[in-house]
Chains A and B, each alone.
Chain A
Amino acid sequence: ETGVTQTPRHLVMGMTNKKSLKCEQHLGHNAMYWYKQSAKKPLELMFVYSLEERVENNSVPSRFSPECPNSSHLFLHLHTLQPEDSALYLCASSQTTGAQGYGYTFGSGTRLTVV
């Protein structure tokens, strides 16, 4: 257990479904991230939140909608996804945003399959 908990671990959804991924951390970190990991590709940063405010959105399609109600929780709302969105979605947290020198703590990820 890393201190960052992601649920569910696995999710299969149809292209017309709406689902949400949840991430929770109780490390006292102020920054939270969503990453997408597809086979044979580097990790892709999707969203960055600092103190509950979205500070970065890396050209992610609107069918992915993040929400950060407080500094301990982060959601990724999914709707009308495409099969190419199937991937491992990883949540991470760090003490601050930026890369001044803090490691990221990752959750175990949600394996998403879009059918």
Chain B
Amino acid sequence: SQQGEEDPQALSIQEGENATMNCSYKTSINNLQWYRQNSGRGLVHLILIRSNEREKHSGRLRVTLDTSKKSSSLLITASRAADTASYFCATGTSGSRLTFGEGTQLTVNP
């Protein structure tokens, strides 16, 4: 069954604003990863957070993980037009493959 489900499905903001995307999942996980996909291209790995971690930062990205609520959020601060892309969460469970959600389409308007 599908693990990660992103929310919202689409998000449109102005350049300079922060963008927050959420991911919920159903079963226990080993780690959760966020990926970005520009239109028609492959996915690019952004950040990985393990189940025993609560928050992680990478540049303008901040990821949180709440295992009690089975949810994660990706925050992009000071967004740029170049951040326009689809963002996917993927959940990893011990001994199995990553399962991807349907993604959030982020549009950052100049």
Contacts and interface: CB of A to CB of B under 8 A. Distances in A.
Interface of A: 2, 4, 6, 33, 40-43, 45, 48, 56, 88, 90, 92, 97-109, 111
Interface of B: 2, 30-31, 33, 35, 40-45, 48, 50, 88, 90-103
Contact of A98 (B91, B94, B100): B94
17 contacts: A33-B97, A41-B102, A42-B102, A43-B88, A43-B100, A45-B99, A90-B42, A99-B30, A99-B96, A101-B92, A103-B45, A104-B90, A105-B45, A106-B42, A106-B43, A106-B44, A111-B40
Nearest to A106: B42
Contacts of A101: 30-31, 48, 50, 92
Contacts of B43: 43, 90, 92, 104, 106
SS of A interface (majority): loop
Given A56-B97, A98-B95, 6 more contacts: A42-B100, A99-B30, A99-B96, A101-B50, A104-B35, A106-B44
